[in-house]
Protein backbone atom coordinates (compact mmCIF):
# COMPACT_ATOMS: atom_id res chain seq x y z
CA UNK A 1 0.00 0.00 0.00
CA UNK A 2 1.40 3.41 -0.89
CA UNK A 3 2.80 5.76 1.70
CA UNK A 4 1.00 9.09 1.76
CA UNK A 5 2.79 12.33 2.44
CA UNK A 6 1.83 15.93 1.77
CA UNK A 7 2.80 19.21 3.37
CA UNK A 8 0.51 21.46 5.41
CA UNK A 9 -2.02 22.92 5.34
CA UNK A 10 -4.53 20.08 5.41
CA UNK A 11 -8.02 20.29 4.03
CA UNK A 12 -10.05 18.17 6.47
CA UNK A 13 -13.17 20.29 6.91
CA UNK A 14 -16.30 18.17 6.73
CA UNK A 15 -14.66 14.99 7.97
CA UNK A 16 -14.77 13.33 11.37
CA UNK A 17 -11.51 11.76 12.55
CA UNK A 18 -11.69 8.90 15.03
CA UNK A 19 -8.70 9.01 17.42
CA UNK A 20 -7.87 5.61 18.88
CA UNK A 21 -4.94 6.59 21.09
CA UNK A 22 -5.19 6.18 24.89
CA UNK A 23 -7.08 9.02 26.54
CA UNK A 24 -4.02 10.42 28.31
CA UNK A 25 -1.96 10.37 25.09
CA UNK A 26 -4.51 11.68 22.60
CA UNK A 27 -4.62 15.37 23.50
CA UNK A 28 -2.12 16.67 20.95
CA UNK A 29 -3.63 14.68 18.10
CA UNK A 30 -7.20 15.76 18.93
CA UNK A 31 -6.13 19.40 19.13
CA UNK A 32 -4.45 19.16 15.75
CA UNK A 33 -7.53 17.50 14.24
CA UNK A 34 -9.68 20.40 15.41
CA UNK A 35 -7.13 22.91 14.13
CA UNK A 36 -7.33 21.26 10.71
CA UNK A 37 -11.07 21.98 10.51
CA UNK A 38 -12.27 18.45 11.21
CA UNK A 39 -14.34 17.04 14.05
CA UNK A 40 -12.73 14.50 16.38
CA UNK A 41 -14.14 11.52 18.21
CA UNK A 42 -12.09 9.97 21.00
CA UNK A 43 -12.38 6.18 20.80
CA UNK A 44 -9.45 4.82 22.83
CA UNK A 45 -8.34 1.35 21.84
CA UNK A 46 -6.04 1.16 24.84
CA UNK A 47 -5.78 2.42 28.39
CA UNK A 48 -2.47 2.96 30.16
CA UNK A 49 -1.79 2.44 33.84
CA UNK A 50 1.25 2.29 36.06
CA UNK A 51 2.70 -1.11 36.87
CA UNK A 52 1.13 -2.80 39.86
CA UNK A 53 4.46 -3.25 41.68
CA UNK A 54 6.22 0.11 41.27
CA UNK A 55 8.94 -0.81 43.75
CA UNK A 56 10.41 -3.28 41.25
CA UNK A 57 10.39 -0.72 38.43
CA UNK A 58 11.84 1.88 40.77
CA UNK A 59 14.81 -0.34 41.64
CA UNK A 60 15.34 -1.18 37.97
CA UNK A 61 15.30 2.51 37.00
CA UNK A 62 17.90 3.32 39.64
CA UNK A 63 20.09 0.57 38.20
CA UNK A 64 19.42 1.79 34.66
CA UNK A 65 21.11 5.06 35.52
CA UNK A 66 24.39 3.17 35.10
CA UNK A 67 23.58 1.62 31.72
CA UNK A 68 25.57 2.39 28.58
CA UNK A 69 22.39 3.08 26.61
CA UNK A 70 18.87 3.83 27.82
CA UNK A 71 16.07 3.48 25.29
CA UNK A 72 12.57 4.90 25.83
CA UNK A 73 9.87 3.28 23.71
CA UNK A 74 7.17 5.99 23.78
CA UNK A 75 6.13 9.28 25.40
CA UNK A 76 4.20 7.18 27.94
CA UNK A 77 7.38 5.33 28.87
CA UNK A 78 8.99 8.65 29.79
CA UNK A 79 5.97 9.96 31.72
CA UNK A 80 5.54 6.76 33.73
CA UNK A 81 9.28 6.37 34.36
CA UNK A 82 9.44 9.78 36.03
CA UNK A 83 6.16 9.06 37.81
CA UNK A 84 7.62 5.86 39.26
CA UNK A 85 10.95 7.52 40.07
CA UNK A 86 10.70 11.33 40.08
CA UNK A 87 14.41 11.58 40.96
CA UNK A 88 15.47 9.52 37.93
CA UNK A 89 18.91 10.70 36.85
CA UNK A 90 20.74 9.19 33.89
CA UNK A 91 24.51 9.33 33.96
CA UNK A 92 26.13 11.95 31.78
CA UNK A 93 27.96 9.58 29.43
CA UNK A 94 24.97 7.34 28.82
CA UNK A 95 23.43 7.50 25.37
CA UNK A 96 19.69 8.13 25.49
CA UNK A 97 17.53 6.97 22.58
CA UNK A 98 13.86 7.74 22.00
CA UNK A 99 11.61 6.02 19.50
CA UNK A 100 10.22 9.14 17.91
CA UNK A 101 10.25 12.90 18.26
CA UNK A 102 7.32 12.93 20.70
CA UNK A 103 9.26 10.78 23.18
CA UNK A 104 12.31 13.01 22.74
CA UNK A 105 10.23 16.11 23.50
CA UNK A 106 8.93 14.61 26.76
CA UNK A 107 12.49 13.68 27.74
CA UNK A 108 13.64 17.22 26.97
CA UNK A 109 11.11 18.54 29.50
CA UNK A 110 13.05 16.56 32.09
CA UNK A 111 16.37 17.96 30.88
CA UNK A 112 17.34 14.79 28.98
CA UNK A 113 18.59 14.97 25.40
CA UNK A 114 17.88 11.92 23.25
CA UNK A 115 18.80 10.58 19.83
CA UNK A 116 15.90 9.72 17.52
CA UNK A 117 15.69 7.79 14.24
CA UNK A 118 15.92 10.12 11.26
CA UNK A 119 14.15 8.04 8.62
CA UNK A 120 11.62 5.92 10.50
CA UNK A 121 9.96 6.38 13.89
CA UNK A 122 9.66 2.67 14.57
CA UNK A 123 11.67 -0.36 15.64
CA UNK A 124 13.49 -0.63 12.31
CA UNK A 125 14.41 3.04 12.48
CA UNK A 126 15.86 2.62 15.97
CA UNK A 127 17.84 -0.47 14.99
CA UNK A 128 19.34 1.46 12.06
CA UNK A 129 20.84 4.12 14.35
CA UNK A 130 24.66 4.13 14.05
CA UNK A 131 25.09 3.99 17.83
CA UNK A 132 23.30 0.63 17.91
CA UNK A 133 25.28 -0.97 15.10
CA UNK A 134 28.03 -2.27 17.40
CA UNK A 135 26.78 -2.85 20.94
CA UNK A 136 28.70 -5.98 21.86
CA UNK A 137 29.33 -6.05 25.59
CA UNK A 138 27.16 -3.01 26.26
CA UNK A 139 24.38 -2.80 28.79
CA UNK A 140 21.12 -1.42 27.38
CA UNK A 141 18.09 -0.52 29.49
CA UNK A 142 14.79 -0.53 27.58
CA UNK A 143 12.02 1.42 29.31
CA UNK A 144 8.43 0.76 28.29
CA UNK A 145 5.60 -1.72 28.76
CA UNK A 146 5.24 -5.45 28.41
CA UNK A 147 3.87 -6.73 25.12
CA UNK A 148 3.85 -4.84 21.87
CA UNK A 149 6.18 -5.56 18.99
CA UNK A 150 9.14 -7.66 20.11
CA UNK A 151 11.89 -6.77 17.64
CA UNK A 152 14.39 -4.40 19.23
CA UNK A 153 15.44 -6.48 22.26
CA UNK A 154 16.07 -9.77 20.37
CA UNK A 155 18.01 -7.95 17.64
CA UNK A 156 20.22 -6.11 20.11
CA UNK A 157 20.88 -9.35 21.98
CA UNK A 158 21.98 -10.89 18.68
CA UNK A 159 24.37 -7.96 18.32
CA UNK A 160 25.93 -8.85 21.66
CA UNK A 161 24.26 -6.44 24.08
CA UNK A 162 22.90 -7.22 27.53
CA UNK A 163 19.27 -6.09 27.61
CA UNK A 164 17.39 -5.05 30.74
CA UNK A 165 13.69 -4.52 30.08
CA UNK A 166 12.04 -2.15 32.55
CA UNK A 167 8.24 -2.10 32.54
CA UNK A 168 6.95 1.16 33.99
CA UNK A 169 3.37 0.95 32.69
CA UNK A 170 0.82 -1.50 31.31
CA UNK A 171 -1.41 -1.44 28.27
CA UNK A 172 -4.89 -2.66 29.15
CA UNK A 173 -8.29 -2.82 27.51
CA UNK A 174 -10.11 0.51 27.38
CA UNK A 175 -13.33 1.27 29.19
CA UNK A 176 -15.70 2.17 26.39
CA UNK A 177 -19.02 3.65 27.44
CA UNK A 178 -22.35 4.63 25.96
CA UNK A 179 -20.89 8.09 25.39
CA UNK A 180 -18.28 6.68 23.00
CA UNK A 181 -20.87 4.63 21.13
CA UNK A 182 -23.34 7.50 20.81
CA UNK A 183 -20.64 9.79 19.44
CA UNK A 184 -19.93 7.26 16.69
CA UNK A 185 -23.61 6.80 15.95
CA UNK A 186 -24.18 10.56 15.57
CA UNK A 187 -21.12 11.30 13.45
CA UNK A 188 -21.66 12.01 9.77
CA UNK A 189 -19.71 10.28 7.02
CA UNK A 190 -16.96 10.24 6.07
CA UNK A 191 -15.27 8.87 9.15
CA UNK A 192 -11.49 8.57 9.06
CA UNK A 193 -10.05 6.29 11.73
CA UNK A 194 -6.46 6.96 12.85
CA UNK A 195 -4.72 3.82 14.09
CA UNK A 196 -1.16 3.16 15.25
CA UNK A 197 -1.50 0.03 17.42
CA UNK A 198 -2.47 -3.54 16.59
CA UNK A 199 -3.42 -4.08 20.23
CA UNK A 200 -5.77 -1.09 20.10
CA UNK A 201 -7.38 -2.47 16.95
CA UNK A 202 -7.90 -5.88 18.60
CA UNK A 203 -9.59 -4.25 21.61
CA UNK A 204 -11.91 -2.19 19.41
CA UNK A 205 -12.87 -5.20 17.31
CA UNK A 206 -13.69 -7.13 20.49
CA UNK A 207 -15.55 -4.34 22.31
CA UNK A 208 -17.49 -2.32 19.77
CA UNK A 209 -21.15 -3.24 19.25
CA UNK A 210 -21.46 -5.19 15.97
CA UNK A 211 -23.35 -2.43 14.08
CA UNK A 212 -20.71 0.17 14.97
CA UNK A 213 -17.86 -2.17 14.08
CA UNK A 214 -19.52 -2.87 10.75
CA UNK A 215 -19.78 0.86 10.14
CA UNK A 216 -16.11 1.44 10.84
CA UNK A 217 -15.14 -1.40 8.54
CA UNK A 218 -16.84 0.51 5.75
CA UNK A 219 -15.03 3.77 6.48
CA UNK A 220 -11.47 5.01 5.83
CA UNK A 221 -8.73 3.57 8.03
CA UNK A 222 -5.35 5.29 8.28
CA UNK A 223 -2.61 3.03 9.66
CA UNK A 224 0.95 3.83 10.62
CA UNK A 225 2.74 0.84 9.09
CA UNK A 226 2.47 -1.84 6.44
CA UNK A 227 2.39 -4.48 9.17
CA UNK A 228 -0.63 -2.81 10.77
CA UNK A 229 -2.32 -2.56 7.38
CA UNK A 230 -2.12 -6.33 7.06
CA UNK A 231 -3.53 -6.81 10.55
CA UNK A 232 -6.43 -4.47 9.79
CA UNK A 233 -7.20 -6.29 6.56
CA UNK A 234 -7.34 -9.51 8.56
CA UNK A 235 -9.97 -7.90 10.79
CA UNK A 236 -12.20 -7.12 7.82
CA UNK A 237 -11.22 -3.53 7.02
CA UNK A 238 -11.00 -2.79 3.30
CA UNK A 239 -10.39 0.93 2.74
CA UNK A 240 -6.92 1.09 4.32
CA UNK A 241 -4.31 3.74 3.62
CA UNK A 242 -0.84 3.83 5.13
CA UNK A 243 0.68 6.95 6.65
CA UNK A 244 4.40 7.49 6.62
CA UNK A 245 4.59 6.96 10.39
CA UNK A 246 2.61 7.31 13.62
CA UNK A 247 3.65 10.96 13.97
CA UNK A 248 0.75 13.43 14.14
CA UNK A 249 1.86 15.25 10.98
CA UNK A 250 2.03 12.02 8.99
CA UNK A 251 -1.33 10.69 10.22
CA UNK A 252 -3.11 13.95 9.35
CA UNK A 253 -1.24 14.18 6.07
CA UNK A 254 -2.58 10.76 5.11
CA UNK A 255 -6.08 11.69 6.27
CA UNK A 256 -6.04 14.75 4.01
CA UNK A 257 -5.09 12.65 1.01
CA UNK A 258 -7.76 10.11 1.85
CA UNK A 259 -10.42 12.80 2.15
CA UNK A 260 -9.39 14.38 -1.15
CA UNK A 261 -9.70 10.99 -2.84
CA UNK A 262 -13.09 10.39 -1.19
CA UNK A 263 -14.40 13.64 -2.63
CA UNK A 264 -13.45 12.78 -6.21
Do residues 94 and 67 touch, judged by C-beta distance below 8 A? yes
Q: Where are the beta strands (DSSP E) in 67-205?
A: 69-72, 95-98, 139-145, 162-172, 191-195
Distance CA 153, CA 165 (A): 8
pLDDT, tens digit (0-9, with 9 covering 90-100), for 198-208: 999 999 999 99
Cα Rg for the chain, rounded, in angstroms? 19
**pLDDT over 50 at 5, yes or no:** no
Fold for 3-46+174-263, please state it: Rossmann fold (3.40.50)
pLDDT band at 66 (very low <50, low <70, confident <90, very high): confident
Kindly list the domain boundaries of the chain, sorted by start residue: 3-46+174-263, 49-172
CATH class for domain 49-172?
Answer: alpha beta
Residue-wise pLDDT tens digits, 212-249: 999 999 999 999 989 999 999 999 999 999 998 888 88
Same CATH fold, 49-172 and 3-46+174-263? yes
Please tell me whether residue 42 adopts helix, strand or coil conformation.
strand
Kindly report whether the peptide bond that precedes residue 9 is cis, defined as omega within 30 degrees of 0: yes
Amino acid sequence: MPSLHVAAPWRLAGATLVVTRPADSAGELIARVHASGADAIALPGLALRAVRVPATARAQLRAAAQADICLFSSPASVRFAFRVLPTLSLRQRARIIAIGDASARVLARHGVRASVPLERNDSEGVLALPELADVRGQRIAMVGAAGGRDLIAPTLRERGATIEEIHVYERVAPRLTKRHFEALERADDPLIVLLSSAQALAHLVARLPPPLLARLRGQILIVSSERLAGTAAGHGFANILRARSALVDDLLDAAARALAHHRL
